[in-house]
Structures are given as structure tokens and as C-alpha cells.
């Protein structure tokens, strides 16, 4: 695997009027950084929830809609990671 091709193609990122990252960069790094951030902070958040004195969460329409939206985003991200990681093995990216 050529690491330079994954991160940047200078003609696509710098030497152009419309700079953009490579497709491989979009399909890997831009998905894994937010996931890594969540995985890094999830143990701390779990600890805070389990050992806090105030455990009551008011079940309002706002909190329920927030939970539904966040679970939808989570399922969408997991689906995208599975598609790019396992189903597109024959592509030239990465």
C-alpha cells in the first residue's frame, strides 16, 4: 500500500483551482476520525453515567427525538464503514 496515494495527490489538492482530497482519503480517514473520537471518549462517558449521583433522564419529546436521530446517524456510519471496508475490496482505493 502506497501511503502517499492515500493521503494526497498534489495535482488534486494543491495544484488546482478546486482543491479536494483524494477519494480514498474521503472513504477512510474522514470516517475513522469521528469514530476514533467516540471510541476514545466513550469509556469516560460511560463511567460518568454509571457513577453519577443524578441518574434521572427526563423522557421528553426532545430527548427521545435526539436519541432516535443519533441512533440513525450511528447506523448510517456503521453501514458506510462496512460498505467501504468489506464490500469494496476490488476497488483501487487503499
Q: Indicate whether 93 belongs to any domain.
A: no
Q: Indicate whether 11 belongs to any domain.
A: yes
What pLDDT does residue 65 have? 92
Q: Indicate whether 94 belongs to any domain.
A: no
The span from the CA of 67 to the CA of 69, in Å, is 5
The domain tally of the chain equals: 1
Q: Indicate whether 92 belongs to any domain.
A: no
The span from the CA of 2 to the CA of 47, in Å, is 40
Contact (Cβ atoms closer than 8 angstroms) between residue 24 and residue 3: no
Encode the chain (94 residues) as per-residue pLDDT tens digits.
Answer: 455 554 556 666 777 777 777 777 777 887 788 888 888 888 888 888 778 887 777 789 998 898 899 889 888 888 887 877 776 655 555 5
Q: Indicate whether 65 belongs to any domain.
A: yes
Domain of 61 in residue numbering reads as 3-87
Q: Indicate whether 30 belongs to any domain.
A: yes
What pLDDT does residue 6 have? 47
Amino acid at each position: 500500500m502506497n501511503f502517499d496515494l492515500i493521503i494526497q495527490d498534489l495535482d488534486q489538492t494543491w495544484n488546482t483551482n478546486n482543491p479536494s482530497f483524494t477519494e480514498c482519503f474521503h472513504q477512510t480517514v474522514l470516517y475513522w476520525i469521528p469514530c476514533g473520537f467516540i471510541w476514545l471518549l466513550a469509556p469516560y462517558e460511560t463511567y460518568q453515567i454509571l457513577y453519577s449521583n443524578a441518574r434521572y433522564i427526563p423522557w421528553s419529546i426532545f430527548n427521545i427525538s435526539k436519541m432516535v436521530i443519533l441512533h440513525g446517524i450511528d447506523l448510517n456510519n456503521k453501514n458506510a464503514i462496512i460498505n467501504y471496508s468489506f464490500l469494496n475490496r476490488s476497488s483501487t482505493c487503499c
